[in-house]
Amino acid sequence: MARIPLLLAALLLPTTALALAPGDAMPAREVKMKNVDGRELTLASAAGAKGTLVIFTCNACPFVKAWQARIAAIGNEAVGQGVGVIAINSNDPKVVALDGYEEMQQRARELGLRFPYVVDATSEVARAFGATRTPEAFLFDADGKLVYHGAIDDNSQDAAAVEAHYLRDALAALIAGRPVALADTKALGCTIKFR
């Protein structure tokens, strides 16, 4: 009898697919998501000529807060180099109020984001990617194939102590037309609070 409640609990928990692997195609390209400027966007509409950077993020996570200035700088720089960038908040604001839409608008202004910051209103996009953390980066080439997945760099807490610039290095290789040397790292951060 104890198995039935456990089974029901397991069925009710939010599930995700396994995270995309290098070479996988970008999923959920046509799902509409509301940007902080009120426009509806899709991953397809955010794509750049040289590739697309998708970052699952939020407002409340301490890891995101520690990395947010670097994420903004990397994203803003990438946009100017032909890479489409989109930040996605898949968290349920009923779980964490700081992840609400108005708070997203304020965060985008504070950080000076020059790329979209959108709401994944059903967490459908995060599930399609197999994303589980904030922040978690997925970099795709111009053909929509995954070339990098994982963490921003090797030190969330101290930008001055970073030794491995995973995402920056992957972007530099992509922009230069070279293979990405390290295609997968472990994403570190808070768990996504699925809707």
Cα 37 to Cα 92: distance, rounded to the nearest angstrom: 19
CATH of 16-191, one of 3.90.1010.10, 3.40.30.10, 3.40.50.410, 3.30.1280.10: 3.40.30.10
pLDDT value, residue 19: 87
Domain segments of the chain: what residues? 16-191
Q: Which pLDDT band, with edges at 50, 70 and 90, does 17 fall under?
A: low
pTM over 0.75: yes
- Is the per-residue pLDDT at 20 higher than 70? yes
Instruction: Tell me the residue ranges of DSSP E strands in 72-166.
Output: 83-89, 117-119, 133-134, 136-141, 146-150
| 105-157 pLDDT, tens digit each | 999 999 999 999 999 999 999 999 999 999 999 999 999 999 999 999 999 99
- Is the per-residue pLDDT at 183 higher than 60? yes
Q: Give the bridge partners for 68, in sequence order.
A: none
Q: Please tell me which residue, 86 or 19, carries the higher pLDDT value.
A: 86
Read off the amino acid at residue 182. Answer: L
User: Across the chain, what does the average pLDDT equal?
Assistant: 92
pLDDT value, residue 195: 94
